[in-house]
Amino acid sequence: MGLLDKKFEKGGVVITSVENVFNWARLSSLWPMGFGLACCAIEMMATNASSYDLERFGIFPRSSPRQSDLMIVAGTVTFKMADRVRRLYEQMPEPRYVLSMGSCSNCGGPYWEHGYHVVKGVDRVIPVDVYVPGCPPRPEALIGGLMKIQELIRVEKFAGSRTEAIEQISLKPSDPETVIKEISASAKNMSLSES
Ligand code: SF4
């Protein structure tokens, strides 16, 4: 905020596209549906609690699919539940996003071979945008996945497809060293343009 305060303390004009404003508003107010399927959901609840404080990203759970734009599939998807997961997904308004959290939801997890009752990946029932690996993933990993969803929304075009946006973010380097270098370089550019 310090940078923004300095830039606008004497008034000013911001020029951007409507698309950027819409995307910025959407990525800054992601509302996941409050539901969980198994142990991964405990980690998801911990991520929402005070230590990790998802609300600082504008992310807080809603209790109705009709008010949600993100579904976090946290836990084992059994054949019995798959039908309900699909129904909840269909009740969410567009544009909607799906994050698959943990091995069970990604591919069947520990049940992949002998679990006759488990769907081997929730992407067999609904389309998934971001996968978070782990059994269970730690809150930091879930936050990383949520930031990927935000990145996806940031690059989405009104006239473009979701697949194009996913391809675009998958081409970006994601190793921490490169990301830190990129952030430092852009911070340096900002302070140079300020002076
Ligand atoms: S991935 Fe592991 S922690 Fe998550 S629901 Fe499956 S068994 Fe539980």
Residue 195 — pLDDT band, cuts 50, 70, 90? very low
Average pLDDT of the residues in 137-166: 90
pLDDT above 60 (res 54): yes
* Percentage of the chain lying above the pLDDT 70 cut: 87
pLDDT above 70 (res 28): yes
**How many CA atoms are closer than 13 Å to the CA of 17, on its beta-carbon side?**
8
3 bridge partner residues: none
**CB-defined site of ligand 1, < 6 Å:** 38-40, 75-76, 102-104, 109-110, 135-136
Q: Over the stretch 58-105, which tens digit does the pLDDT of each residue have? A: 998 999 999 999 999 999 999 999 999 999 999 999 999 999 999 999
- The C-alpha atoms of residue 62 and residue 53 are separated, in whole angstroms, by 15
pLDDT above 50 (res 37): yes
Spatial CA neighbour of 60 closest among 94, 98, 33, 88: 33
Average pLDDT of the residues in 1-25: 76
pTM attached to this predicted model: 0.84
Ligand 1 atom 6 nearest Cα = 104
Least confident of 18-27, 41-50, 161-170, 184-193: 184-193
Q: How far does the centroid of ligand 1 lie from the alpha carbon of residue 42, in Å?
A: 10
| Residue 103: per-residue pLDDT | 95
pLDDT above 70 (res 190): no
Q: How far does the centroid of ligand 1 lie from the alpha carbon of residue 121, in Å?
A: 12
Q: Yes or no: say if 107 and 120 are a contact pair by the CB < 8 Å rule.
A: yes
For every residue of the chain, DSSP letters joined together read -HHHHHHHTT-------HHHHHHHHHHTS--BB----STHHHHHHHHHSTTT-GGGGT---BS-GGG-SEEEEES--BHHHHHHHHHHHHHSPSS-EEEEESHHHHH-GGGTTT-TTB-S-GGGTS--SEEE-SSSPPHHHHHHHHHHHHHHHHH--SSS-HHHHHHHHHHS--SHHHHHHHHHHHHHHHHHHH-
